[in-house]
Homo-oligomer: A and B are copies of this chain.
Amino acid sequence: MRFRKSFLWLSAVSIFLASAAHAGQSLKKPDLMPWPAQIQMTGGEYRLDSSFVVKIAGHAPARLYSYADRMLRRLSGKTGLFFSQDYLSPDSAVKSPSMEIRADRPGKLKLNEDESYKLDVTPSGIMLTAKTDIGAMRGIETFLQLVQGDSAGYFVPGVRINDYPRFPWRGLMIDASRHFMPLDVIERNIDGMAAVKLNVLHWHLSDDQGFRAESQTYPLLTRLGSDGLFYTQREIKEVIKYAADRGIRVVPEFDMPAHSTSWFVGYPQYASEPGPYSVERKFGIFNPVFNPTSDNTYKFLDGFFKEMCRLFPDEYMDIGGDENNGKQWNANPQIQSFMRKHKIADDRALQTYFENRLIPILTKYHKKVVGWEEILSGQLPKTAIIQSWRGAQSLQEAARKGFRALLSKGFYVDHYMPASFYYLNDPLPDSIGLTAQQKKLVIGGEACMWSEFISPENIDSRIWPRTAAIAERLWSQDSINNVADMYRRLDGISLELESLGMTQMKNQDMMLRRLSAGLNPAPLANLVNVVVPVELYMRARTGRYTSYCPLTRVVDAAVPDPEIARHFSNMVDHLVSGGAVSGEELASIRARLLAWKSNDAALENLIASSPVLREIEPVSKRLTDAASSGLEAVDRIQRGETADTSWVNSKLSGLKQDARPAGEVGLVIISPIEKLVRFAGSR
């Protein structure tokens, strides 16, 4: 099966290249993401104007009409065209549509639902067909990404697309416990998910730092465990509908038996120590854990899940299961005696015992379970899904044992890794040691947005645009893995996401303005464009973070994958790769370095009025130093000199010093400058 798809893909590439040979400007490769399974540029283009009219055909539910309405408004917003068509409804009689969207049936919000679509754009019209309305939604997003402008106006290039996902479970997990994320954050990110064809919102709703879902059965969960920051059941229903209207499932997670302090603030009797408990303000692994030896615990959880299984319609319920340190269990003589009595060997076995009593409750309420890899045991029902987060080996272990599995290891977007890192993290690499049958059990993956160090203000900049690269990994064929091409398209999709409401760019601007205390933020922006946050564990290790700490500093505004630094790095790579180097290229490199070298003086003025910037002063000085080294190297390269070894070594040693972080950010352009220095010494 995979061979066949790859083969088709290669054919499509050939067709694409063949067409491109005759190409006008409209035949440039479109900036689609995720890249479709099969695409063929058919020549010509459909020209958009205000007479553009859409017709919905087939058997589509109301939500597809709304989706198409939003498509019209997005198209109108992008092009400024005043479309005459107002709101689509089943009653609208459209005689000669510009675009027909046809869905055979309403899609079901469940695993393995058909999301395929076919999109045909010709100069005379656009036809989008799908088995389900969810497939049609996926196709609408592709269509919107195809729209381009030229001097004659807006158009959609002629194209034939046949598209379907590689994996059926393509998720984004949002941790709303460690920092609460208001409804508008969740909803706009659902729009972002739909734009890149993700289909599962994994909503992490409880943890030590807060219980975020209203329970009417156990009102103290939020009354005492949330600081007043939680979703009401009405809001939860709104989110579920919002997601469903975009073909996205919502799988809630109630993490247990550990990560559960917030439960015990109102209900200490179900913990393994008597308490009292208060909402955890720090981050890490904490001791509070459900008492698995008490029948009351299961009565309580039965009541809880009875309510939640009704509230959340998805067939899956996520029970968490991660990072139980067992300390409360070990310290409790009653629990220890229970373990001896029931021949439960260790904490791990006791957690399995807990899950063996918990899962039947969920089964009773018609739910299958998902959990982190720690829940993997021989006694799990085969309907369970294992989410691998510590190492891909657990993914393989799950599949070998016959469980379906999701990859999250390597998809943690709270880690400040570049998009390329996530992009190349294939759930099923060629090297994987699984049989064809086992491979089928690897059903996808999830980007994980843990929220220790994020606020509603900067969450989007941690999710986007990198999660679009993850979305492509999970939707597109495995052969689509060219990093440079991914980055080329990522910058475009980031703008599209911004237009949909994501704040990854504009909130960075805002944060830099705030940090600049009314002065021109340009020198600060220059620095932020070449730094990245230190590794996550270095921030965690400071021990000073709490859920009410400021998340407004340079490290919080800096993004993991700054575009300007990336472009600089690409220029340097091109230079040192030994190809012909134009004077223009060297001039661009030099211009960047010159600007960086002189930036510190301007930034010092800002720092004098804005003490919050004091912490990054050393990094600013290191940028001057590193840029100076880079300039010296460029001078030598331009003069055609070969630098001597002692110069090279002295510069490299200086650059090593310049790489040291301060204020929890470090320069990301050290490595390309090192390349320049080495290149100056090697010719």
Contact = CB atoms under 8 A, between A and B. Distances in A.
Given A81-B550, A86-B546, A550-B80, A150 B611 contact: yes
A491 B506 contact: no
Interface in A199-247: 227, 234
Interface string A496-522: 001100010111011001100110000
25 contacts: A76-B550, A77-B514, A78-B514, A79-B611, A79-B612, A80-B550, A80-B552, A80-B611, A81-B550, A82-B544, A83-B548, A86-B548, A87-B227, A149-B610, A149-B612, A150-B608, A150-B609, A150-B611, A151-B611, A152-B611, A153-B611, A495-B514, A506-B506, A506-B510, A509-B509
Contacts of A514: 77-78, 495, 498-499
Nearest to A77: B552
Interface in A606-658: 607-612, 615
Nearest to A554: B80
A328 B435 CA distance: 77
Given A81-B550, A608-B150, A495 B518 contact: yes
A57 to B, nearest CB: 22
Contacts of A183: 184
Given A184-B184, A510-B499, A514-B498, A151 B80 contact: no
A153 B194 CA distance: 45
A73 interface: yes
Given A81-B550, A86-B281, A550-B80, A498 B510 contact: yes
A661 interface: no
A277 interface: no
A82 B550 contact: yes
A549 interface: yes
A67 interface: no
Nearest to A517: B149
A548 B80 contact: no
Contacts of A227: 87
Given A87-B227, A498-B510, A513-B495, A78 B552 contact: yes
Contacts of A80: 550, 552-553, 611-612, 615
A154 interface: yes
Interface residues of A, number: 53
Interface of A: 73, 76-83, 86-87, 149-154, 182-184, 227, 234, 281, 491-492, 495, 498-499, 503, 505-507, 509-510, 513-514, 517-518, 544, 546, 548-553, 607-612, 615
Interface centre among A154, A491, A517, by most chain B C-beta atoms within 10 angstroms, is: A517
B499 A149 contact: no
A505 B503 CA distance: 13
Contacts of A551: 77
Nearest to A615: B80
A495 B184 CA distance: 22
Contacts of A281: 86
Contact of A77 (B154, B506, B518, B550): B550
A87 to B, nearest CB: 7
A495 B506 CA distance: 14
Which of A503, A513, A551, A611: most chain B CB closer than 10 A? A611
Contacts of A78: 514, 552, 612
Contacts of A498: 510, 513-514
Which 6 residue pairs spanning A and B have beta carbons closest together? A80-B612, A506-B506, A77-B552, A76-B550, A184-B184, A149-B611
A455 to B, nearest CB: 9
Q: Specify which of A150, A517, A550 lies most central, judged by the most chain B CB atoms within 10 Å of its CB.
A: A550
Contacts of A546: 86
A149 B514 CA distance: 12
Which of A182, A506, A509 neighbours the largest number of chain B CB atoms within 10 Å of its CB? A506
B513 A73 contact: no
A614 to B, nearest CB: 8
Given A549-B76, A550-B81, A492 B518 contact: yes
A552 to B, nearest CB: 4
Contact of A518 (B491, B507, B550, B610): B491
A506 B458 CA distance: 14
Contacts of A87: 227, 548
Given A82-B549, A498-B514, A506-B506, 20 more contacts: A78-B612, A79-B550, A80-B553, A80-B611, A80-B615, A86-B281, A86-B548, A87-B227, A149-B611, A150-B609, A151-B607, A152-B611, A184-B184, A491-B518, A495-B514, A495-B518, A498-B513, A499-B514, A505-B513, A506-B510
Contacts of A609: 149-150
A80 to B, nearest CB: 4
A478 to B, nearest CB: 28
A544 B83 CA distance: 11
A507 B77 CA distance: 14
